[in-house]
Copies of this chain bind each other. A is one copy, B any other.
Amino acid sequence: MFHSKITVTLRTSILDPQGKAVEHGIHSLGMTNIEHVRIGKFIEFDVNTEAKEEAERVTMEACRKLLANPVMEDFTFTLEKIQKPVHA
C-alpha cells in the first residue's frame, strides 16, 4: 500500500484573488513581511497496491482526469510506502 500526497497549485501566470485576500488579512494582523501569497489544494489518499509504478500511474491519472485543471494548474506528488492506511 502506498500513501500519495498531492499538491495542486495555480500556474504563476494565473491571478490568485484568494491569495490576495489572504495576504491582506495577514498584513492586517501585523505580519507585513509576508508577500506573494498563493493558495492551492492538497489531496492525500492511499493506493491499494504493492507496486510503486502502479501507485505512481494511478496517482498521475487521478490528477490528470479529476484533481487538477491542466489549463490553469500544476501538480506535484510524493509517494510513501505504508503498512496500514493513514486515515482509515
Chain A residues with CB under 8 Å of chain B are: 7-9, 12, 19, 22-23, 25-26, 29, 31, 33-49, 54, 58, 61-62, 65-67, 85-88
Contact A26 B86 (CB under 8 A): no
Pairwise interchain contact B34-A46, C-beta atoms closer than 8 A: yes
Number of copies: 2
Query: Given A44-B40, A66-B26, do A34 and B8 touch, yes or no (CB 8 Å)?
Result: no
Chain A interface, DSSP helix/strand/loop, else mixed: mixed
A61 nearest in chain B by CB position:
B31
- C-alpha gap A22/B88 in the complex (Å): 16
> A62 CA to B86 CA in the complex, in Å?
27
Contact A65 B35 (CB under 8 A): no
